[in-house]
């Protein structure tokens, strides 16, 4: 008996440039609000900036660096599911993310280590430096 062909949903149409940021796949109201605080109010502006420049704007507006939000943005601009990023592509995105964070002095790993050290100092687990 022949196998049934699987029905696939058509790819969603790409939103027009004047659409709000949340019209892009993967991006919701919280992301839209964060981009608005960074001065990015439409899909067109987001596309024109691209992932790296738009993400730098988010960081400049006070958002904390987070790798997942960076690659979700990249996938959104490509019209792909957020979890479609894997293997070498994800590694390359991680490298770009780390370079962006280093460029503005906001390495999330180092920030996390500094916060942990401060917390350990506060509760007396580590000897305070003099």
CATH of domain 21-94: 1.10.150.20
What integer is the mean pLDDT of 33-60?
95
| Per-residue DSSP letter, 84 | G
In contact, 58 and 34? CB cutoff 8 Å = yes
CA–CA dist 34, 76 (Å, integer): 15
Q: Between these two residues, 103 and 83, which has the higher pLDDT value?
A: 83
What are the extents of the domains in the chain? 21-94
**Is pLDDT at 33 greater than 80 in this prediction?**
yes
pTM for the complete prediction? 0.72
Q: Residue 104's pLDDT is what?
A: 78
Q: Average per-residue pLDDT in the chain?
A: 84
| Per-residue DSSP letter, 17 | T
Q: Between these two residues, 96 and 127, which has the higher pLDDT value?
A: 96
Burial of 76 (0-12, 13-18, 19+ CB in 10 A): buried
């Amino acid at each position: 008996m022949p196998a049934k062909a699987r029905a696939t949903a058509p790819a969603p149409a790409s939103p027009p440039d004047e659409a709000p940021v949340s019209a892009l796949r993967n991006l919701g109201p919280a992301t839209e609000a964060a981009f608005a605080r960074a001065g990015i109010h439409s899909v067109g502006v987001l596309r024109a900036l691209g992932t790296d420049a738009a993400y730098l704007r988010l960081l400049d507006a006070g958002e904390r660096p987070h790798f997942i939000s960076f690659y979700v943005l990249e996938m959104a601009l490509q019209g792909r599911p957020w979890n479609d990023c894997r293997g070498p592509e994800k590694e390359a995105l991680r490298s770009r993310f780390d370079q962006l964070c280093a460029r503005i002095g906001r390495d999330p790993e180092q920030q996390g280590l500094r916060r942990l050290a401060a917390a350990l100092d506060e509760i007396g687990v580590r000897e305070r430096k003099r």
